[in-house]
Amino acid sequence: MSKNKPYDHAHHSSRRKFLKGLAAGIGLIALPDKQASASVWEEFFQKNFRELSKDDLKTVLARLEKKYSKQFAKQVTVKATPPIEGVRYGYALDLSRCIGCRRCVYACVKENNQSRDPQIHWIRVMQLDKEKGVDLSRAEHYYNPEKVPEKGHFYMPVQCQQCENPPCTKVCPVQATWKENDGIVVVDYNWCIGCRYCMAACPYSARHFNWGKPGLPAAEMNPDTHYLGNRPRPKGVVEKCTFCIQRTREQPGRYPACEEICPVGARKFGNLLDPESEIRYLIENKRVFILKEDLNTQPKFFYFYAT
Amino acid sequence: MKNIWNFFTGTIRLISKGSTAYYCWIVFLLILMCIGGIAFCHQLDQGLIVTAMRDQVSWGFYISNFTFMVGVAAAAVLLVIPAYVYEWGPIKEFAVLGELLAVSAIVMCLLFVTVDIGHPERFWHLIPKLGLLNFPQSLLAWDVVVLNTYLALNLTISIYILYSLYYKREPKHNFYTPLVLLSIPSAISIHTVTAFLYNGLGARPFWNSSILVPRFLASAFCSGPAFMLLIFLLVRKYTKFRIKDEAIQKIAEIMAYAMFINLLLLGAELFKEYYTDSVHLDSFKYLFQGLHGHSALVPYIWTAMVFNITAFFLFLVPATRRNTTTLVIGCVLVFVGVYIEKGMGLVIPGFIPDTLHEIYEYSPSNTELMLSMGIWATGLFIYTMLLRVAIPILNGDFHVADDGVHSFIGDQLFLVKQESDPESEQELVRSTFGHT
């Protein structure tokens, strides 16, 4: 709109209405007021996370914090804590202990601000037959008995395997997803175009798409967020497990929410580069296996039977 | 520059004229396009949740249509090779119609991809320098490059030729021959790259088979020409444009070979999967027999099989190939058959069962159907407009007037009976139009 030309208010508002409708119609962004519209354009022209300078990043984080704080009516922090030197995260899961209670699934949802409606889960727990072993074609995904574990069954949680050789990042046409130096595969929700090629490429169904507008009640929103992790997502982008990047990259760090909640201690998490770590002990001393080894994805998520 | 403007205004005047049937057809397409547009707005507002796609089946009807249309687009090369490489007269006369079909088909491809992505407004992330195109790592990045190259080549060649003919100039060989030669590998590449896009995914055994590319190419050389033949037969019947029988026969013959290779490759794939009987068979089982009680695609794929095999024999036997009725039936069968086989039949079983062996049955939602219909209407609209200009130019009914500025429009109606009796020829209004 030209600022030099005077126009009466009615004209102005009808024009604004028109622009608003047009913007909504062509899928651009509604322009509620000048300030908001400026931040909308800032967001639209934001560079890829990895191309942001330090100053750019500061501005972006501040903008997001302001936006989310307003949206959820609480003080939200958005961090961009970088990887810690000398750390490569690994995860191990004891199939002999897992009871299939799905507490990890819901702790993850709570911690990582997944959409409640429509439901998005980063962890999928499958019920398998003890007799048949790890045969995914016999997996029961929607088991729902009164009590778990059920006789004759064991349970296998699957989430992002944080592959060393991730097929998902390779296929992304715009480099909106990549593997960080600590081994975590992340997504830039402001850069993802939502083509879902990564979902077709992932052999573990670990990637999830925001088909609709994420339903995240303000009261349940976790305000401690990371740019590449659990900050609120817009609709139309892909998201996935980040080993709770907002917890594990801090010093002192915290365990991922799924690890913390597990009532039977089936989940183990640690630094693969630290020879003294529990995860290294497990890999060296237990019979571990990885999912779909033949695909050479080299997961850093190990399954084992402790007993 | 002035010439281009005059040409442009001339074409606008030309396309605004036509018979009642022409207007009805245009209005019909515009209505469908509006419905598609409304569906698209609805989808933008609500998100892709208004489709039937979900995490398990993350690509659906849009990408199926995209894949099929890439085949149709690539098939133009079937006219280009005999026309420009072998300088075979009967096809050279109308090869440009094939190039225009490629243009329309690629536009449809781009539209189908646009409506499938979650953030179409972020398309600029795909533009090198401006965004971050993941080239050469991502096959989707390759697809963006080859599709746009192919579109640009076909647009340049066809518009250049038509523009020259309009100004009664012989198109310069030195200019368009290199482009035509480049368009041949580029036609092959759009199909190869699109097949690789699926092919390279270890996670999806249904697509992870090395004969996917040849299967794609073989079926493209059936579906694209089938559509072209139908258009040629229509054009021949309802306009003055002459298309020789031998050209149509030659195309039908090539289709018979292509269909044979297509069926052979499919058979090879089926043998390998069924005889091996590994866990990878599940997707084929889902497609051909149904899996654990889920069988949405089964009736479709068998329809496609019957259609393709019937059409193969119709094109193989010279008698049925020469008979217009059986030829038309064959073309329709091929088009529908390949649409099923290389559309939904190729994309959906890749996701069923999903990588954790969950089965989610997909069938397109109303929004998906309406939107796709809108895109088909857009493609047909574009092709109609292009033909509306191209055919009169090739007929010599639309060219620059003697004054070198205004345009001469001999063909007032789009649909003109082919019998050109001398009386009506004299009645043709020699019209020149003033410019403002």
Tens-place pLDDT, residues B35-88: 999 999 999 999 999 999 999 999 999 999 999 999 999 888 888 888 888 888
Interface probe with A: pick from B119, B193, B283, B348, most Cβ of A within 10 Å: B119
**Shortest CA distance from B59: residue in chain A:** A196
B314-333 pLDDT, tens digit per residue, is 999 999 999 999 999 999 99
Interface test with A, best of B138, B146, B193 (most A CBs within 10 A): B138
In this predicted structure, which of A108-112, B308-312, B362-366, B389-393 has the lowest mean pLDDT? Answer: B389-393
Tell whether A176 and A291 lie within a shared domain: yes
Q: Is A29's pLDDT higher than 70?
A: no
CA distance A9 to chain B (A): 29
How many domains does the structure of chain A reveal? 2
pLDDT-derived band at B384, boundaries 50, 70, 90: very high
Is the same domain home to A74 and A29?
no
Please state which of the ranges A195-209, A280-294, B10-24 shows the lowest mean pLDDT.
B10-24
Whole-number pLDDT of residue B365:
97
DSSP state of B403: T
pLDDT of A27 > 60? The answer is no
pTM: 0.90
Please check whether residue A60 is in contact with residue A52, taking contact to mean a CB–CB distance below 8 angstroms. Answer: yes
**Cβ neighbours, 10 Å, residue A11:** 10
Q: Is A133 left (phi over 0), alpha (psi -120 to 50) or beta?
A: left
Average pLDDT over residues B150-165: 94
Put simply, the chain B residues between 186 and 205 with a CB less than 8 A from any chain A CB are 197-198, 200-204
Task: Please tell me the predicted confidence (pLDDT) of residue A18.
Answer: 52
Q: Residue B347's closest chain A neighbor by CA?
A: A200
Instruction: Identify the domain containing residue A6 by its residue range.
Output: 1-45
The strand pairing partners of A157, in sequence order, are: A125
Report how far residue B389's alpha carbon sits from residue B407's, in angstroms, rounded to the nearest whole number.
12
Largest CA distance in chain A: 80
Using CB atoms and an 8 Å cut-off, which of residues 187-206 of chain A contact chain B?
191-197, 199-205
B2-416: CATH superfamily: Formate dehydrogenase/DMSO reductase domain (1.20.1630.10)
**pLDDT class of B429 with cuts at 50, 70, 90:** very low
Q: Are residues A146 and A35 part of one domain?
A: no
Taking the CA of residue B168 and the nearest CA in chain A, the distance in Å comes to 42
Interface check for B1 against chain A (CB to CB < 8 A): the answer is no
* CB-based contact B132 A175, cutoff 8 Å: yes
Selected residue of A159, A165, A179, A205 to mutate for chain B interface (largest B Cβ count, 10 A): A205
Pair A35, A121 in one domain: no
Q: What is the CATH number of the domain that holds A123?
A: 3.30.70.20
Q: If pLDDT is split at 50, 70 and 90, which confidence band does B383 have?
A: very high
- Its ipTM equals 0.90
| pLDDT at residue B173 in the model | 86
Distance from CA of B221 to the nearest CA of A (A): 27
Residues above pLDDT 90, as percent of chain B: 70
Asked whether the predicted pLDDT for residue B121 surpasses 90, the reply is yes
Q: pLDDT band at A162, cuts 50/70/90? A: very high
Q: pLDDT digits over B252-283, tens only?
A: 988 999 999 999 999 999 999 999 999 899 99
- The set of residues, in sequence order, having a beta carbon less than 8 Å from that of A160 and lying 6+ positions away, is A122, A185, A204, A206, A207, A240, A241, A242, A243, A301
Judge whether B48 and A190 are in contact, CB under 8 Å. no
Residue of B nearest to A124 (CA): B356
pLDDT at B237: 85
When mean pLDDT is compared across A140-154, A227-241, B422-436, the lowest value belongs to: B422-436
B355–chain A Cβ distance below 8 A for any pair:
yes
Which residues are CB-neighbours of A111 under 8 A, at least 6 positions away?
A222, A230, A244, A247, A256, A257
Cis? peptide before B136, omega within 30° of 0: yes
**Is residue B433 over pLDDT 70?**
no
Of A26, A193, A296, the CB nearest to B122: A193
CA distance A274 to chain B (A): 31
Stretch among A23-27, B375-379, B420-424 having the lowest mean pLDDT: B420-424
C-alpha distance from B263 to closest chain A C-alpha (Å)? 27
Minimum distance, in Å, between the CA of residue B121 and any CA atom of chain A: 6
CB contacts of A203 in chain B (<8 Å) are 202-203, 355
Taking residues A101-125, report their average pLDDT.
97
Same domain, A146 and A9: no
Q: Which residues fall within 8 angstroms of residue B177, CB to CB, at 6 or more apart?
A: B84
- The average pLDDT across B157-166 equals 93
Q: Are the C-beta atoms of residues A209 and B118 closer than 8 Å to each other?
A: yes
Examine the pLDDT at A193 and tell me if it is beyond 70: yes
Element (H or E) spanning B389, and its range?
helix B366-395
Tokens linked to B237: 């019947």
Residue whose C-alpha is closest to residue B243's, from B400, B96, B87, B78 = B96
Q: Do A97 and A73 share a structural domain?
A: yes
* Residue pairs between chains A and B whose CB atoms are closer than 8 Å: 153
Quote the minimal CA–CA distance from B201 to chain A in Å: 5
B241: amino acid identity, one letter: F
Looking at the fold, whether A167 and A208 belong to one and the same domain comes out as yes
- Domains of chain B by residue range: 2-416
C-beta atoms of A136 and B356 within 8 A: yes
Q: From the candidates B40, B49, B127, which should be mutated to test the interface with A, based on the most A CB atoms within 10 A?
A: B49
Task: State the smallest CA–CA distance between residue B350 and chain A in angstroms.
Answer: 9
Q: In this predicted structure, what is the pLDDT of residue A14?
A: 52
Q: Do residues A191 and A111 both lie within one domain?
A: yes
What is the mean pLDDT of the segment spanning A224-228?
97
Among A79-93, B15-29, B362-376, the least confident range: B15-29
Tens digits of residue pLDDT in B212-254: 999 999 998 999 899 999 998 988 888 888 888 888 998 898 8
Please state, in angstroms and rounded to a whole number, the distance separating the CA atoms of residues B316 and B321.
7
Indicate whether A237 pLDDT > 80: yes
CB pair distance less than 8 Å for B47 and A200? no
pLDDT of B207 higher than 80: yes
Of A269, A65, A49, which is closest to residue A180 (Cα–Cα)?
A49
Rg (CA), chain B: 23
- Partner A contacted by B350 (CB < 8 A): yes
pLDDT digits 0-9 by tens, B340-365? 999 999 999 999 999 999 999 999 99
Question: DSSP strand E in A223-276: where?
Answer: 224-226, 238-239, 267-271
pLDDT at res. B17: 84
Whether residues A242 and A169 fall in one domain: yes
List of chain B residues whose C-beta atoms are within 8 Å of the C-beta of residue A239: none
Least trusted range by pLDDT, from A175-179, A195-199, B214-218, B394-398: B394-398
How far apart are alpha carbons B91 and B363 in whole angstroms?
40
| B116 lies within 8 A of chain A by CB | yes
What does the pLDDT average to over A20-25?
51
Name the least confident of A11-25, A198-212, B101-115, B329-343.
A11-25
pLDDT at A11 over 60: no
Mean pLDDT across chain B: 90
- Average pLDDT score over chain A: 90
Calculate the alpha carbon distances from A43 to A61, A189, A192, B199, B223 in Å: 11, 11, 13, 35, 43
Q: Which two tokens stand for residue A7?
A: 């126009």
Q: Tell me, what's the pLDDT at B436?
A: 30
B356/chain A closest Cα distance in angstroms: 6
Whether chain A has a CB inside 8 Å of the CB on B121: the answer is yes
CB-CB contact of B154 with B147 (8 Å): no
% of chain B residues with pLDDT over 70: 94
With an 8 Å Cβ cutoff, are A236 and B47 in contact? yes
pLDDT band for B20, please (50, 70, 90 cuts): confident
Tell me the DSSP string of B170-221. Answer: PPPHHHHHHHHHHHHHHHHHHHHHHHHHHHT-TT-TTT--TTHHHHHHHHHH
Q: How confident is the model at residue B92 (pLDDT cuts 50, 70, 90)?
A: confident
Do A120 and A183 lie in a common domain?
yes
Q: Minimum mean pLDDT among A26-35, A278-287, B90-99, B401-410: which range?
A: A26-35
- Looking at chain B from residue 134 to 163, which residues have their Cβ under 8 Å from any Cβ of chain A? 134, 137-141, 144
Q: CA-based angle B193:B194:B198, to the nearest 5? A: 105
Claim to verify: residue A103 and residue A156 sit in the same structural domain: yes
Do A132 and A221 belong to one domain? yes
Sorting pLDDT into bands at 50, 70 and 90, what band is B166? Answer: very high
In this predicted structure, the answer to whether residue A10 has a pLDDT above a threshold of 50 is: no
Whether omega for the bond prior to residue B353 falls within 30 degrees of 0, making it cis, is yes
* B286 touches B349 (CB < 8 A): yes
Q: In chain A, which residue's Cα lies nearest the Cα of B283?
A: A137
At B125-138, the pLDDT tens digits run 999 889 999 999 99
Confidence of residue B380 (pLDDT cuts 50, 70, 90): very high
Does the pLDDT value for residue B294 go beyond 70? yes
Question: Which runs of E-coded beta strand occur in A124-192?
Answer: 124-129, 153-158, 177-179, 185-187
Chain A segment 43-72 residues within 8 A of B by beta carbon are: 44, 48, 51
Please check the confidence at residue A35 and state whether its pLDDT lies above 50.
yes
Banded model confidence at residue B435, pLDDT cuts 50, 70, 90: very low
Contact residues, chain B, for A175 at CB < 8 Å: 132, 134
Give the pLDDT score at B431.
35
